[in-house]
Amino acid sequence: MCRQSATVCLIKSPALESVAGLSLVERLRMLPDPRRRRGVRHPFVAVLLVAASAVIAGARSYAAIGQWSANAPQHALARLGARVTGTLGVRVAPSPATIRRVIALVCPGGLADLTGASPGGADSVAVDGKAARGSRHGQTPAAHLLAAMTGDGRTITQLRVPDKTNEITCFAALLKPYDLSGVTVTADALHTQRDHVCFLVEDKHAHFLLVVKANQPGLHRRLRSLPWKDVTARRYDREVSHGRKETRVTRALTVTDLDFPHPSRPCASCVTAPTSRAESAAARPSTRSRT
């Protein structure tokens, strides 16, 4: 399965309906082994299960995954399907290098489709992209992944963004296999694109909540010119985070002449005013001592 093309990843992924009710082991068995047959010593699914178990146990790097694998007891390796060697039936864990190579070959889109949650019943789906931590190796740049998550934090799917493009070209391919009727899709300012809005409303029958910044200068200018000061319906959110106090003020207006696709839909007509932020130094305990 291709690691570079988001479209190919989705086409070659198993049908989403076929994995409902299956265990993790049964889902992983549906993935084709990307390795060459010659020299294969460890079962493909066992390597993935060892890596997943190590991450659940707290491992955050390939070195930590390899350390957990080397110290795993025999009964744990047996349940994970590790390779058996010798007349005594000793289970042998895959090495850190083997785990790294196998994970590097697995298609992130296909793996996410098999293990991800369904957006059915969710009120909102958030789309965001990040560079995968620890994926940079030598001269190879870090893998940039575009992911979709439900409002309660469950990952639906993710795709690797090809090196010669950006997240914009992968947005529709990421959400295309899913039924998003009535779901509100949120994304950052990069995805405030006309094609994205038409895809969500016309093809997926979804709502959208997008951020408008200077990447859309005309739309941003028209929004800034709206009578925000005259709005009486306001919502205030205050929190202390990262050593500062933040106050966010949200105002809503109904707008129909923004020169943007589908401005009259209920969710699309609700515009969030710019964030008001007041920073202050966090109160810290004094280090002085009195005698």
Mean pLDDT for the chain?
Answer: 78
Both tokens of 176, joined, read: 């295309």
Q: Are the C-beta atoms of 27 and 43 separated by less than 8 Å?
A: no
Domain boundaries, the chain: 32-106, 118-132+141-210, 212-280
Q: Summarize the confidence of residues 261-270 as an average pLDDT.
A: 51
CB 98 within 8 A of CB 47: yes
At 17 the pLDDT is 56
What is the predicted pLDDT for the residue at 103? 85
**pLDDT band at 47; cut points 50, 70, 90:** very high
Instruction: Say whether pLDDT at 253 is over 50.
Output: yes
**Does the pLDDT of residue 89 top 50, yes or no?**
yes
Lowest-pLDDT choice from 77-91, 93-107, 130-144, 179-193: 130-144
Determine the 3-state secondary structure of 99 from DSSP: helix
Q: 49-64, pLDDT tens digit by residue?
A: 999 999 999 998 888 9
The tens digit of pLDDT for each residue in 139-168 reads 777 778 898 999 888 888 888 888 778 899
Strand pairing report for 207-210 and 244-251: unpaired
Q: Crossing angle of helices 62-71/44-56, nearest 10°?
A: 100
Query: The pTM is what?
Result: 0.67
Residue 286 has pLDDT above 70, yes or no: no
Q: What is the pLDDT of residue 269?
A: 36
Tens-digit pLDDT profile for residues 93-151: 999 889 988 888 887 667 777 777 788 788 999 999 988 776 677 777 777 889 899 98
* Mean pLDDT of the 65-90 span: 91
Q: What is the CA radius of gyration of the chain?
A: 24
Kindly list the distances between the CA atom of residue 276 and the CA atoms of 49, 116, 169, 221, in Å, as whole numbers in the listed order: 46, 36, 32, 18
Read off the DSSP letter of residue 140.
B
Protein fold of 118-132+141-210: Nucleotidyltransferase; domain 5 (3.30.420)
